[in-house]
Every structure is written in C-alpha cells, then in structure tokens.
Amino acid sequence: MQRPDVTGFHDVRTGSIQYVVACPNTRNCAIIDPVLDFDEKSGSTATTNADNILDYIHSRDLKLAWILDTHPHADHFSAAHYLKSRTGAPTAIGEHVKQVQQIWQQIYNCPDLACDGSQWDRLFSDGEAFRIGELEARVMHAPGHTLASISYVIGDAAFIHDTLFMPDSGSARADFPGGSAAKLWQSIQAILSLPGHTRLFTGHDYMPGGRPAQWESSIAEQKERNPHVAGLSEKDFVLLREARDRTLPMPKLILHALQVNIRAGELPRIEENGRRYLKIPLDALPGSTWGS
C-alpha cells in the first residue's frame, strides 16, 4: 500500500486543518483545504496560512500538482484561488458543489453566479481516480455535513473533512442548508469500511480540554472511542446529532465565507473606490440558535 507523506497545518483561529500530501518518490504534492485568513471584526484579509504552506513546499523541494477542497467551508475562506494565482496549479472539488451553489445563489440573491462549478478546474465524481505523482487517489462522495462533501483517499491516507473529528470530539454538524444527519451516518460508515490500516485525517480540531491540536486517527480508534460511533445504531446517531445541532449557533463566518467559497475562494470584485465588499443577507437562516 502506498504511504504518502502527510503534513498538517492547524489554524488556531478557525480550528481548521490544512494538509500537504506528498508522493515520496516524485515529490509531487497536493494541498487540501487551505485557509485564507479573515478577521471579521476588522474586515481584514491576509495570506499568512497559505504563504506558510507555500514556504513549506518550497523548503522541501515539492512540486504542487493539485489544490483540493473537500467542500465549500462555512467557517473559513478557502485560499484555493490565491494559491492558484501564485502557482498555476489546478483547483478541484466534488461535482455536487453545483447544488450548493444553487442553494446559496438564492440566499445571496446573486443571479450572475454561474452554478456549474466552472470556478474550479476540475469537478470530481464519486469513485473518480486521479494521481499525485505515483500516488493513487480516489474520491468518495461523503454528504451529510454538506451536499457537496467529498473525502480523498490517497494511498493509505483518507482525508475525511467534516465527517468525524478526533475520537474524543464526535462528529460534524449536519444542519447547514442541504445537510442531513442520516446521510452523514452513511458517509461515516463508508469511511469506517475502508481497509483497517487506513490513516484518517480530520478537517478540524478544537483542542477539547486544552489538549494540543490533533488530526490523525485510525479506524479502530474511531470505532472504539468515538461517542458518535461506538455502540450506536443509525437511529441513535441521527437522534444524537440532530439534538446536538439544535443547540449550536451557526458558525460566525458562515454568511461571510459561503459567498467566497462557492466561487472557489475568489474574493468579491474590486469596486470603483478600490475596495471589496461582502454581502450579508439578513434573516436568511431562520430558526438558528443565537450565539452568546
């Protein structure tokens, strides 16, 4: 079994894990789920996370072959567009992003948004294969958190985004527009049906109890220790997940981020005064829990 070199970069502000996945033989690599820095209080953007990843790639003499997103994120801006502008590497995401674009086109009232996924260079279908150097990579459609969520299985490593977190942290929420706890359960079962030696790399870690950030687990650990997996039936999981979701406020950046991320991380156009502007719809997510 091929074993890629995997390096994780934890963004403390959003809890996001960004990855560089490299072929040991050819030195080709992919970036998965890169973060574009954004401070909602000042409206400031920065490329600190993305530049750190580029510095790492350069320092290891790696060759960037792909910029991959697992889904349109609700808690941070994607740096895919910025990284493509710096490197020329192609961007990719799952083909069901078109459905997510249709949902958010209506929420943002953006009739000019192309809902065909053309903002990315490639749209992957379920089961589609591609290569990173000599590494064989396969796409798994893994909906539930969002309609468009996919996992990347690259050699013995699976990048499972917002499905399962670390075993002490349960699973991802499933109450975004287009989300489904039942579909999330099915996606989790598909992940746990991968070969037992598969390394699982999650998309977020919020350091519960103040422990250091972690992002790699095993299938056995998830089955034995994750309270959203161990001993639960599908019915148990759906009840638990939906009850938990009813207590969660929406991510603080969801309305900021989706308008960027459904465009593959491209920021709004510069207006005549030289500034860019985000568009925040009011009362677009009725019934959401209010945050403190």
pLDDT tens digits, 18-44: 999 999 999 999 999 999 999 999 999
pTM score: 0.97
pLDDT in the model for residue 264: 98
- Interatomic CA distance for residues 31 and 64, integer angstroms: 8
Q: What size, in residues, is the chain?
A: 292
Contact between residue 232 and residue 190 where contact means Cβ atoms under 8 Å apart: no
- For 143-198, write each residue's pLDDT tens digit: 999 999 999 999 999 999 999 999 999 999 999 999 999 999 999 999 999 999 99
pLDDT in the model for residue 292: 67
In 3D space, the residue among 101, 95, 69 whose CA is nearest the CA of residue 83 turns out to be 69
DSSP H/E element including 189:
helix 181-192
In 3D space, the residue among 117, 127, 114, 121 whose CA is nearest the CA of residue 65 turns out to be 121
Six-digit token string for 127: 């089961």
pLDDT in the model for residue 1: 73
Token pair 């996924």: residue: 117
What's 1's DSSP letter? -
Strand, helix or coil for residue 213: coil
pLDDT in the model for residue 12: 96
209: left (phi over 0), alpha (psi -120 to 50) or beta: left
Contact between residue 126 and residue 169 where contact means Cβ atoms under 8 Å apart: no
The three-point CA angle 154-86-135 to 5° equals: 15
pLDDT in the model for residue 94: 98
- Interatomic CA distance for residues 207 and 70, integer angstroms: 22
In 3D space, the residue among 107, 43, 34, 119 whose CA is nearest the CA of residue 77 turns out to be 34
In 3D space, the residue among 86, 40, 51 whose CA is nearest the CA of residue 260 turns out to be 40
- Interatomic CA distance for residues 135 and 138, integer angstroms: 10
pLDDT in the model for residue 80: 98
Token pair 């809890």: residue: 15
| Domains with residue ranges and CATH for the chain | 5-261 (3.60.15.10)
Six-digit token string for 264: 């593959």
Q: Which portions of the chain are predicted below pLDDT 70?
A: 292
| Contacts for 239 with CB less than 8 Å, ≥ 6 apart | none
- Interatomic CA distance for residues 37 and 45, integer angstroms: 5
Name residue 165's amino acid. Answer: F
Contact between residue 136 and residue 156 where contact means Cβ atoms under 8 Å apart: no
- Interatomic CA distance for residues 172 and 73, integer angstroms: 12
- Interatomic CA distance for residues 54 and 58, integer angstroms: 6
